A and B are shown apart, each in its own frame.
Chain A
Amino acid sequence: MKRQVWMYLVLAVLVGFGIGGALATGRELTILTWNHFVPGFNQEFVRQVEEWGRINGVSVRVDFLSLPDLAARLPAEVEAKAGHDIVLLFNYNVALFKEHLVPLDDLANELDTLYGPWAEGAKFLAFLDGHWWAIPWCFQSLVATVNKEAWKAIGVSVDDLVNFTWEDLLRVAPKLAEIGHPIGFAIKDTFDANGGLFPILWSFGARVVDENGYVTVVSPETRAAIEYVMKLAKYMPPDVFAWDDAGNNRFMLSGVGSWTPNPPSIWAVAMRDKLPIADSIDHAPLPSGPYGRFRVADYNSFGIWQFSPNIDLAKDLLRWLMRPDNVVKQVEASWGYNEPTLKAYNEISYWISHAPLRYYHPPVEEPRPTGWPAPPGPQWAMAYNLHIVPLMFAKAVTGELTPDEAMQWAEAELLKLGFKSK
């Protein structure tokens, strides 16, 4: 008798799971995005997604991963042909995975008509072979984050920095180092290093790979950029050769650093945590060079996998996330970190109403994705992941190679990845 009772109980549990499973196969949408550097943003993002879910009777789930983990998760979903419906595609990942994405021409053109045009860098990365393969959601750019008190001590105001050239920076760097507040950016194989090095390359007229995929790193312009960084690095702390992507954040938040290229996450954390340094943090444009003034911009696009069973729902969610009221709240929740990819949203007043962000957006410099103008594709994705350009600079600055040898090393590495030789 007792055994019969147990049998019926087990059967009831199994049936219950079955029914529950059947009920659970209603409409569901999943989205994978990055774990935002600004604390508090994720909650606002989840709120917006859940609000859309409530209105449309769809069960939604948002998953967050750090950028490096995202880079590993995307290939896994492609291989398994299973995973999230919508995924965040950082920079060149749109080109890397476009064969597995749903074309979004209709949605992109609709948003262009309503709020456009699209930012140049956004289109460069997401509009490929005549189609939109993802919706550029937002970008963040590496402006100069400065400790204005340190600069004041040497008689330079933040507004003076608007007219600075790289030579001006080299001129004042020793003074800042002398007062114990050096400038710094990572010069090693880490992603943040690109934020300091590529603007120098571009403004000296150097191009690592041209728009047709030819390797052009060996040039007098690149040599000039390397030699400049070799001089500038003398006034940086030796730690820059060991920094990870958070190294420059700690450098500034500790009050030691005076200047580093970074999006305003440093300022946001200082303000949120009411750190002593908070009132001293400001932002300024990066210096200009003989060939212009540039800033690295990292673009975040949302793509929809072809294997998603909810393509129309996914498009509708993306449409929702790009609505003016939601974009404004995203900018606020990110403390101004998220920059819009559609022109109409440049009018958002957040950056003007917060004085430290007045030079962050819209950028004074020309924002460009790392590697520009290399054609988007798997070759540049590999070059980016293998840190070819930061390593080129690091090898020259540390004396492991001469500037010419460093350029030749970079050229050889890029050719091995499949870029063409001129």
Chain B
Amino acid sequence: MYKRTAYLMIIPVLFILLLLMVYPVGLSIYTSLTDRRIGTAGKFVGLDTYRRMVNQPLFVRTLINSGLYVSISLTLKTIFGLLLALLFHHIPAGRNFLRAIVLLPWVVPTSMSVLIWQWMFDPSFSVLNWILTQLGLNRVSWLGSPFWARLAVITVNVWRGIPFFSIALGAGLTAIPQELYESASIDGATSIQQFFRITLPLLTPVLNIVLLYSLVMTIADFDIVYILTRGGPFQSTHLLGTLAYQVGLPGTQISQGAAISLFIFPILLVAAFFALRTVISQEI
């Protein structure tokens, strides 16, 4: 009886999942296999949309942009997040207050914080350029040059993501038994050795989950690029999400938009599989 009640209780959730996740994903996959434009039925063309897409320089450039964006952002978020987590773990007082301050970038709505960054990167009135000129250095075209624009969007993504990494890894650090460090100290291990032999291995399951979550969120990022650069300059900062939006909605090529946004799905599935397999095997 309890089993039946349990199944009955999860039916509403399953229904919501089907309606809000399975149906849209299924519809996107079908749309990507047609030549639909907005408002037209389109006809089934199989993988033709994908074939044309991979031959387009803009799509290839976007794929490279996305790869750079994700790999550099994740690396920097991991490094700085871990450093902050270690710092908070070892400071004797004011930890909670500092954690609250550090959490602000993650908590403030994305659009608000990115608008402020946009002002900071403004081509004519950037406060960052003002600082540079005061130091006797040249102004930087933050959003006007592909190199600096890529750096700008990565900076904003890292700035927003560090709090999540530091809080999650901080929780992981707290869960590591102190006796291990004490035993290691008694055995003469240095701090660096303790970090690489105790901290890092025991933090890996948490790190894997955090990285996986951040990978999905970063690769699906839209608002930072949309607000800051709209994919420019010269289409150098387009991510899959922003390109899918530009092509699919204002461009009305909805099948192409669906294909672009779904392209990364198999890669994410594989990444999730390996990340979760590592976590499960470590738990065993």
A residues near B, CB below 8 A?
68, 71-72, 75-76, 78-79, 96-97, 99-100, 188-190, 237-244, 247, 250-251, 254, 256, 378, 381-382, 385-387, 391, 394-395, 398, 400, 416
- Chain A residues with CB below 8 A from B254, complex form: 75, 79
Contact B37 A378, beta carbon cutoff 8 Å: yes
B246 CB to closest chain A CB (Å) equals 6
Contact B123 A97, beta carbon cutoff 8 Å: no
Contact A243 B123, beta carbon cutoff 8 Å: yes
Contact A75 B235, beta carbon cutoff 8 Å: no
Contact A188 B144, beta carbon cutoff 8 Å: yes
Closest Cβ neighbor of B38 among chain A residues: A75
- Chain A residues with CB below 8 A from B250, complex form: 68, 71-72, 75, 381, 385
- Per the bound structure, the CA–CA distance linking A244 and B227 in Å amounts to 10
- Chain A residues with CB below 8 A from B142, complex form: 242
Known: A385-B250, A416-B56; 15 extra A-B contacts, CB below 8 A, are A72-B245, A75-B248, A79-B254, A99-B39, A100-B39, A189-B231, A189-B232, A189-B233, A239-B144, A240-B123, A242-B149, A254-B125, A378-B252, A382-B252, A386-B246
Closest Cβ neighbor of B129 among chain A residues: A239
- Per the bound structure, the CA–CA distance linking A340 and B125 in Å amounts to 36
**A-B pairs with beta carbons under 8 Å apart, 20 shown:** A71-B249, A75-B254, A78-B38, A79-B39, A96-B252, A188-B234, A189-B231, A189-B232, A238-B144, A241-B144, A242-B142, A242-B233, A250-B122, A250-B125, A254-B125, A385-B246, A386-B246, A394-B234, A395-B234, A400-B234
- Chain B residues with CB below 8 A from A240, complex form: 123, 144
Contact A386 B251, beta carbon cutoff 8 Å: yes
- Per the bound structure, the CA–CA distance linking A251 and B232 in Å amounts to 20
Interface residues on B, range: 20 to 34
**B133: interface (CB < 8 Å):** no
Contact B230 A242, beta carbon cutoff 8 Å: no
Partner of B230, one of A244, A381, A382: A244
Contact A239 B141, beta carbon cutoff 8 Å: yes
- Chain B residues with CB below 8 A from A394, complex form: 233-234
Contact A241 B233, beta carbon cutoff 8 Å: yes
- Per the bound structure, the CA–CA distance linking A180 and B191 in Å amounts to 58
Contact A239 B124, beta carbon cutoff 8 Å: yes
Interface string of B181-202 (1 = CB under 8 A from A): 0000000000000000000000
Closest Cβ neighbor of A99 among chain B residues: B39
**B143: interface (CB < 8 Å):** yes
Describe A's contact surface by its main secondary structure: helix
- Per the bound structure, the CA–CA distance linking A240 and B233 in Å amounts to 11
Contact A382 B251, beta carbon cutoff 8 Å: yes
- Chain B residues with CB below 8 A from A382, complex form: 247, 251-253
**B145: interface (CB < 8 Å):** yes
Contact B234 A75, beta carbon cutoff 8 Å: no
Closest Cβ neighbor of B256 among chain A residues: A382
- Chain B residues with CB below 8 A from A244, complex form: 230
- Chain A residues with CB below 8 A from B251, complex form: 381-382, 385-386
- Per the bound structure, the CA–CA distance linking A167 and B249 in Å amounts to 40
- Chain B residues with CB below 8 A from A188, complex form: 144, 232-234
- Chain B residues with CB below 8 A from A381, complex form: 250-252
- Chain A residues with CB below 8 A from B141, complex form: 238-239, 241-242
B68 CB to closest chain A CB (Å) equals 18
Closest Cβ neighbor of A184 among chain B residues: B124
A382 CB to closest chain B CB (Å) equals 5
Given contact pairs A68-B250, A243-B123, A386-B246, A97 touches B39 in the complex (Cβ within 8 A): yes
- Per the bound structure, the CA–CA distance linking A238 and B58 in Å amounts to 25
Closest Cβ neighbor of B233 among chain A residues: A188
- Per the bound structure, the CA–CA distance linking A168 and B109 in Å amounts to 49
- Chain B residues with CB below 8 A from A395, complex form: 234
Closest Cβ neighbor of A72 among chain B residues: B249
Closest Cβ neighbor of B257 among chain A residues: A75
- Per the bound structure, the CA–CA distance linking A395 and B37 in Å amounts to 30
Closest Cβ neighbor of A244 among chain B residues: B230
- Per the bound structure, the CA–CA distance linking A75 and B31 in Å amounts to 15
- Per the bound structure, the CA–CA distance linking A382 and B230 in Å amounts to 15
Contact A75 B252, beta carbon cutoff 8 Å: yes
- Chain B residues with CB below 8 A from A256, complex form: 124
- Chain B residues with CB below 8 A from A391, complex form: 234-235
- Chain B residues with CB below 8 A from A243, complex form: 123, 144
- Per the bound structure, the CA–CA distance linking A247 and B10 in Å amounts to 53
4 A-B pairs with the lowest CB-CB distances in the bound complex, closest first? A242-B144, A239-B123, A242-B123, A71-B250
B58 CB to closest chain A CB (Å) equals 8
